[in-house]
Structure 1
Amino acid sequence: MQLKSNTKTSIFKTLGPGFLLAGAAIGVSHLVQATRAGADYGFLLLWVLILACITKYPFLEFGPRYAAGTGNHLISGYRKLGKFPYWTFIIITVGSMFIIQAAVTIVTAGLAERLFGMGWSSFTWSFIIIGICIGLLLIGKYPALDKTMKVIVSLLGLATLTAVILAFGEGRLDNALSIEAPEVWNKAGIAFIISFMGWMPIPLDASVWHSIWTREKALGNKKRTSLKEAFFDFNVGYLAAAIIGLLFFLMGVLIMFGSGTTFSGNGVEFSGQLIDLYGKTLGDWSKPIVAVAAFIAMFSTTLAVTDAFPRVLSEIFAEHPKKGKSETERKWKNYRINVFLIPGLSLIILFFFTASFTILIDFATALSFLSAPFIAWFNYKLVTGDQMAQEDRPSKTYRIFSLLSLLILILFNLVYIYTLIS
């Protein structure tokens, strides 16, 4: 479809992909990893959260920048860039998507049981949650996902902010500052730092999701998204994800740090521990607020991920056209197949690994971080190369900042690999 580039549209009408990014981001990285970081190490790892958000910013921003500048998504760009970037991305995606889908779903399932108390197993809840997500995506398609995520992210931000303000009101800050943090520069601590950075605020391959959502939004508006609109939309979503990540980190510091509680490896028990700790500190009246905020966080992630991976695979298949049906029909057919296939295989993983979900999450987040430099470099090459118009490319200062961020990602990868083999 040819998209108009000169039609004026309210900048707020173009908002959507940024909220989807925020919804995908605000999940395991925030609820589990950020809360664990604060609970186990106090304020000691605040710099890790900030560094992760800063160093990933340019490479995630390159996704919507590329989509706005070229009208295509990053997958098309990778293919034009060469076989190595294209197939590396496919291997990273296929190698991680089932584990990521399983990880976010099992946490959502644990919180659902804690919130609704139906007495169902994590696997049963996972099956139900995935079914709801699939139904919403197949019936409402992209517009339903867009509108739902705007509501979810807004409610989540308010609920989490309320919980943090209440925690500060209880005078917990002085207590958190008075407790000495444990040693972090050891094998276990470095491994946690890497897993924390892996999904904070979101894996770098989400830049591909964002580029697809930006293009999908443009198709819905029947006009090309301008660079200004894409930049504004991205910043709204990314800032929301970063701030809410900080809020969950503060919740861990203020309420859990120094409590002496060891987190369970079981999804339902972990969720119960999380909510009960808030209740013991702030009062039982706080439990509903925390439970709702946590469940919304994870459901938004599960919904976004359930959409993202089938959409990515359908775009990959579209890069290899076959005779017969139109491109739109082929994409929709592939999407419908994969929206059942990926969650289905993820449920099989959950059937065997439900009792050790923290191990599953640490593995998935570390895998995402190890692949980050590759995605970062591919995105940098795309937005600074010939595929982008000169006026849409990053400035010289921004390019230097991007390369410094890439260097930091590489250094952390080398440190992590060294700790694994030493």
Structure 2
Amino acid sequence: MRDLKGIVKTIGPGILFAGAAIGGSHLIQSTRAGADYGYSLIIVILLVNLFKYPFFEFSYRYTSAKNKTLLQGYQELGSWAIWSFLIISIITGIINLAALALGASGLLGYIIGSAVQPLYLSIGLVTLCILILLIGKYPLLDGAMKFMVFMLGIFTTIAFFMSLSVNNSPIEGFNSPEIFERSSILFIIALMGWMPTPIEASVWTSLWSVGRQKQKKYIPTLKESLIDFHIGYIITTVLAVFFLVLGARAMFGTGIGFSSNGTEFSKQLIDIYATLLGNWSKVILAPVAFITIFSSLLTVVDAYPRSITSAIFLSLREKTHETVRLHEILTLSMSAVALIIVSFLIHNLKMMIDLATVISFLAAPVFAVINYKTVTAKDFPDSYRPKLWLKLLAIAGIIFLSGFSFIYLWSLFVL
């Protein structure tokens, strides 16, 4: 009974992780993968989830071992680690925020059938996120995300099993794209960038874990923390496959591709569910899909400024009460820059998403190496060190991520 109470008090950061992952990488990229390539990219999704696994796990391991955030582990490695995180996170944070804001505005525009410009919808949604975070702080974020992930998980699972009875034969003359074509390689890299989510999110989970500890006044064991992590990670992996299957069942071989216009893209996305479940489902599924991508937007609006604020003060080696003020300034300024980007790419959702995901993937090997070094440092407690199999998987993951980054750059400049 005591173990169960501890687990209940611990569960939270893993669900936030799932919420961050499902919006962009699953709802948009996994569905596109199925629609364009059928089942061919399931192995890619499973492999990237496998090879990224250690670097997210290390975040929980470090926080449990030292009762510190992962960023403090970066600080112990040296200023190079903190500054690497800062520079990369500022770039990826703004681009990712812009991409999710545009995606969420497209879904909202579809739901309300409004003539309101996507830019104004994006501004409204980002403003709403900021207000939620300023008023509710961690408890509201935690509670809202659990509800959103639960709702999407239920409906996506129902749609997945109903899709298994659908026989969608390719149209005459349809040719599936070749996996090793330049355009396919570029998309695969984009798919993996946010799959299940950028590796810098490992820093967010450690910050959320500390926030959860303060909220519940309970410090979990490593076992309890990893249960929370595994719940979130398994949910994200399974749903990634489900979304790909939904895209494959409803659109692969039809000769119809996803639109770059956010609202039209959203209509096509919801129509996939309607095809499988019936038109009645649009009334429920459109809001659920919006809630899902909005949950990712809400997470990103919170996580990037929060982690960057912590990194700035750690790099300056200062302890101050001004962190709240800087966090608010960063939240507003990063949101403003992201919305400026949205205004320039307002009619190209797919390009925006691909740009954000590719940048995240190219940054992945850097964060992978840093996370590995934090839990293998000489002063890291022996009882918390990762086992040999996990170290080997991490090394394989670094090679995998670095190798595909090289392939991407080669295909970009050579092919």
Same fold (TM over 0.5): yes
Take 1:16 and 1:277, find their aligned partners in 2: how far apart are those partners? 31
Residue of structure 2 equivalent to 1:211: 206
Residue of structure 1 equivalent to 2:155: 159
AA of the residue aligned to 1:117: G
Residue of structure 1 equivalent to 2:33: 37
Q: CA deviation at 1:341?
A: 1.8
Residue of structure 1 equivalent to 2:314: 319
Instruction: Describe the superposition over 1:142-175 as per-residue Cα deviations: whole angstroms up to 9, x where unpaired.
Output: 1111111111111110011122222223x23676
Q: CA RMSD in A?
A: 2.2
From 349, 355, 359, the counterpart of 2:347: 355
Check if 1:276 corresponds to 2:271. Answer: yes
Query: In structure 2, do the counterparts of structure 1 residues 376 and 64 end up closer, same or farther at CA, with 3 Å as the change threshold?
Result: same
Residue-pair matches, total: 412
Residue of structure 2 equivalent to 1:147: 143
Check if 1:293 corresponds to 2:288. Answer: yes
Residue of structure 1 equivalent to 2:81: 85
Kept in 1: contact 2:362–2:405 (CA 8 A): yes
Check if 1:53 corresponds to 2:45. Answer: no
Check if 1:416 corresponds to 2:408. Answer: yes
AA of the residue aligned to 1:246: V
Mind listing any 5+ residue stretches in structure 1 that lack a counterpart?
A: 1-5
Residue of structure 2 equivalent to 1:255: 250
Take 2:3 and 2:292, find their aligned partners in 1: how far apart are those partners? 35
Take 2:135 and 2:121, find their aligned partners in 1: how far apart are those partners? 21
AA of the residue aligned to 2:298: L
Give me the TM-score of the superposition, normalised by structure 1.
0.92
Mind listing any 5+ residue stretches in structure 2 that lack a counterpart?
A: none
Take 1:183 and 1:89, find their aligned partners in 2: how far apart are those partners? 36
Kept in 2: contact 1:27–1:300 (CA 8 A): yes
Report which stretch shifted further, 159-168 or 387-396: 159-168
Instruction: List, as ranges, runs of 4+ consecutive aligned residues in structure 1 with deviation greater than 6 Å.
Output: 173-176
SS in 2 for 1:44: coil
Q: How does 1:18-417 map to 2 (within 5 A)?
A: 18-169=14-165, 171-172=166-167, 181-280=176-275, 282-319=277-314, 327=320, 329-417=321-409
AA of the residue aligned to 2:69: H
Query: In structure 2, do the counterparts of structure 1 residues 278 and 222 end up closer, same or farther at CA, with 3 Å as the change threshold?
Result: closer
AA of the residue aligned to 1:417: L
Take 1:294 and 1:223, find their aligned partners in 2: how far apart are those partners? 34
Kept in 2: contact 1:160–1:293 (CA 8 A): no
Query: In structure 2, do the counterparts of structure 1 residues 245 and 234 end up closer, same or farther at CA, with 3 Å as the change threshold?
Result: same
SS in 2 for 1:11: helix
Kept in 1: contact 2:159–2:273 (CA 8 A): no
AA of the residue aligned to 1:350: V
Q: CA deviation at 1:372?
A: 0.7
Kept in 2: contact 1:318–1:330 (CA 8 A): no
Query: In structure 2, do the counterparts of structure 1 residues 279 and 8 end up closer, same or farther at CA, with 3 Å as the change threshold?
Result: closer
AA of the residue aligned to 1:261: I
Residue of structure 2 equivalent to 1:3: none
Take 1:156 and 1:278, find their aligned partners in 2: how far apart are those partners? 12
Take 1:300 and 1:234, find their aligned partners in 2: how far apart are those partners? 18
Give me the TM-score of the superposition, normalised by structure 2.
0.94
